[in-house]
Chains A and B, each alone.
Chain A
Amino acid sequence: MQKYSVFSLFKNALKGHKDWEVAWKDPNPKEEYDVVIIGGGGHGLATAYYLAKEHNITNVAIVEKGWIGGGNVGRNTTILRSNYMHDENGLFYEKGMELWRNMSQELNFNVMFSPRGIINLAHSDAQMNAYARRGNSMKLNGIDAELLGREEIKKLVPILDFSENVRFPIFGGLMQPSGGTARHDAVAWGYARQADSMGVDIIQHCEVTGFDVVNGKIKGIQTSRGNIKAKKIGLCVAGSTSVLAEMLNMTLPLETHLLQACVSEPIKPILDHVVTFGAGHFYCSQSDKGEMVMGGDLDGYNSYAQRGNLPTLQHVLTEGIAMLPFLSKLKMLRTWGGIMDMSMDGSPIIDKTHIEGLYLNCGWCYGGFKATPVSGWTFAHTIAQDRVHDLNAGFNLNRFNTGHLIDEKGLGTKTWIS
């Protein structure tokens, strides 16, 4: 594989950029693989990469209905964090942060990792107490957390509305200084390029239409490009998990819901951190291009539409203007939507299933992007070793049956309000 560096850039510039190798090939499916990963998004690509790198399993295919990076890995708001209270989440996502820090070097692809800090605003004494508790829990798990007062927030983010007579005055907030953003497309492309170079077949425009299961054991898949045999199959299809589960006669603790995001026209640097409005569902950061990147609530009813509805956008931006009044002066550049696999306790599922050789990776709710490396890392382990890793042991499918839920927000099973 051609190494990307300033020298290769210079060399190829002199030759008119005619000699660049393709970043990944476009193979036809082989008859049989050791492992087939369904879904060529961030998680699927990362899983294939870690199968090859950590477990020396390279006879692997990724089958993708559309094109790689066209789903949620290209539709999120690029935020990375591990500011969770529960051990299962905190330790899992902190492993993710460790992988994020080295990703550009490891993948030889600039993912523009930017640990600019994430601040959750608090608007009451009770919320400050809750954040103090969460911050302390994070520190016990080795995650950086700082509880900030109103004046400290004012120094860091002076553009927020600090007036006294607002509905939700800013009391302070909780900051994870090591949180931040990364360029989402680069993450997909970086993993794809490395996985391809180690022998993984990335098969795009290949839709799964059925599964071959014999005596409780997975044998292969039927696709729009023919049948593919496989010893093991991993599902990394986020919002489409329930559709594939139906083909397997499985009913999962998931609902698919639509989440929108939007960006404004680009402006000069004004917001250095990722800031969330603790009184509602709104968060904002500024991209390197200068656009204000914003997100918030689900559309609020089951949806596979991959495009949003205006009432939710209006509601989200109303909260946005309450937090950052200057947003009202900006023009909207783009809005879009992606479909989320909302789990019934708000935490993911990375587990084996009752079908031998079939593995499940789903339930990412709002937070799939930040989990990309650690999801792939633990899922690759689960597939290769046929057992869960300590880091994803809590994210088992059986927890809904035994009552060992990991409900970070304590919201219960109404996935559309969580």
Chain B
Amino acid sequence: MLYIECPYCGLRSQNEFAYGGDGTVKRPTLNKEVSDKEWDNFVYNRKSPRGKHVELWHHISGCRQWIKVQRDTVTHEIFKTVSADKEI
């Protein structure tokens, strides 16, 4: 069982959260010419690191806020959680 520190609600079990994937992916800027390669990187290509990973979680059975979590993909240790608009 993972325990995730929601920045709004405190420490909660993973059962309250839904996973949202890689939190470092940025959508190409609006109103600008976007190349196929940029779309490709945004939609499909992922670093999938072995080690520290910044990812999105949705506290769907709690406060319903999206949050950013820095977690180790081997040990599952969680280093840091912040609200989704902040950088890690």
Neighbouring A residues of B76 by C-beta, 8 Å = 303, 305, 309
The range of chain A's interface size is 20 to 34
Fill in one digit per residue for A252-295: 1 if any B CB lies within 8 Å of its CB, else 0: 11111000000000000000000000000000000000000000
Contact (Cβ within 8 A) B75 A305:
yes
Q: How far is the CA of A414 from the CA of B46 in the complex (A)?
A: 12
Complex Cα gap A242–B43 (Å): 17
Complex: chain A residue closest to B46, CB-CB: A255
- A344 pairs with B48, CB closer than 8 A: no
A400 to chain B minimum Cβ distance, whole angstroms, is: 4
Which single member of A242, A252, A416 contacts B50 (CB below 8 Å)? A242
Q: Is A401 a contact partner of B37 (Cβ separation < 8 A)?
A: yes
Given contacts A240-B50, A400-B44, 14 further A-B contacts (CB under 8 A): A242-B46, A251-B47, A252-B45, A252-B46, A252-B48, A255-B21, A256-B48, A300-B19, A304-B73, A305-B75, A309-B2, A310-B1, A344-B44, A401-B37
* B1 CB contacts on chain A under 8 angstroms: 309-311
B44 x A302 contact (CB < 8 A)? no
Are B19 and A413 within 8 A (Cβ)?
Answer: no
A302 with B2: CB separation less than 8 A: no
Determine whether A130 belongs to the interface, using a CB cutoff of 8 Å to chain B. Answer: no
Q: Count of A-B contacts with CB under 8 A?
A: 70
Q: Is A413 in contact with B47, judged by CB distance below 8 angstroms?
A: no
Binding site for A on B (CB under 8 A): 1-2, 14-15, 19, 21-22, 36-37, 40-41, 43-50, 53, 55, 71, 73-76
Contacts from A to B (Cβ < 8 Å): 240, 242-243, 246, 251-256, 300-305, 309-311, 344, 400-401, 413-414, 416
Name the CB-closest residue of B to A345.
Answer: B44
Question: In the docked arrangement, what's the CA distance between A413 and B71, Å?
Answer: 21
Q: Which 10 A-B pairs have the closest CB atoms?
A: A253-B44, A242-B48, A251-B45, A400-B44, A344-B44, A304-B50, A255-B48, A301-B19, A304-B74, A243-B50
Q: How far is the CB of B51 from chain A (nearest CB, A)?
A: 8
CA distance A300 to B21 in the complex (A): 9
Known: A304-B74, A309-B1, A416-B21. A246 touches B49 (CB 8 A): yes
Most buried by A among B1, B36, B43, B44: B44
B36 CB contact (under 8 Å) in A303, A304, A310, A401: A401
Contact B73–A303 (Cβ < 8 Å): yes
9 contacts between A and B (CB under 8 A): A301-B19, A301-B71, A302-B55, A305-B75, A310-B1, A311-B15, A400-B45, A413-B43, A413-B44
Nearest A residue (CB) for B39: A401
The reply to whether A311 and B36 contact each other, CB–CB distance below 8 Å, is: no
B47 near A301 with CB under 8 A, answer no
- Determine if A242 and B55 form an interchain contact, defined as CB atoms under 8 angstroms apart: no
Give Cα A311 to B19, complex, Å: 14
Contacts A302-B55, A344-B44, A413-B44; A256 near B50 (Cβ below 8 A): yes
Tell me if B48 and A400 are in contact (CB < 8 A).
Answer: no
> B36 to chain A: closest CB distance in Å?
6
